[in-house]
Amino acid sequence: MSDGLDQPRFAIDEPEEERREDVWDDPDGEGQAPEQEPEAEAEPEPERGEEAEPAPEQEPEEVPAEEDELPRLRGPEHAAGELDVPDGYGVIEGEPRRRAVGVVVARFNGELTNELLRRALDELERLGVGREAVTVIPVPGAFELPLAAMALAKTRRYSCIVALGAVIRGETPHFEYVASEAASGLQLAGLETGVPVAFGVLTTDDEEQARERLDKGAEAVRTALEMADVFAQLRAAAGTANG
């Protein structure tokens, strides 16, 4: 057997790093190794413009759409809105007009009902309803509002009725009885007489909530006049059809 089998196969015993330098790719033929070692090179730099974009983990956590939008969509009270009726349908829509208006107002919780009445009368004046066309009937409390509203409606002298009052929740069930009877009684007055009756009665847990809703007086005026105009248009349409 040959003695060469016992010898190492490497012709030159050099460190691993030196051997890598000897075989470095030198396309220009200059015979010089690059200044930086290959293993020292960092990852490829991002293209221009990429550095301005924050990394995903650095982006602020976004609030889900449903959590961000719902509070803005919902208000503390009923929100006003517009209806979009498709073309081709007959529409009868009322507008606040100058008409004879009856106003029934409760004296109970007078500090609140006085302000409701003032705002209601201001709104009537703003809409062009003169004082001579308005009749105000004070009653003891909210429970008596339906009786006065029914009496006014049955005279047929008024196109609509505005009912104003304030019922504050107390420690007894009295609140539920009065508020419920006032609401159902006023609705019944309108149904039985065909005269629109607007509900401007505050039913709140405390006085602070009531003060936040004092514009209900003006709102009730607009509601009553709008419904009165709708009823007038319906009667006119029925008369034309019958004629």
Distance CA 184, CA 165 (A): 14
Strands 197-204 and 160-168: parallel
Helix residue ranges, H only, 106-173: 110-126, 145-154
CA-closest candidate to residue 209, choices 180, 182, 169: 169
The answer to whether 106 and 65 are in contact (CB under 8 A) is no
Q: At what angle do helices 174-193 and 145-154 cross, to 10 degrees?
A: 10
Cα dist from 223 to 95, 124, 134, whole Å: 9, 11, 16
Among the listed residues 107, 157, 174, 235, the single catalytic one is 174
CA-closest candidate to residue 114, choices 225, 221, 211: 211
78 in active site: no
The catalytic site residues sit at 174
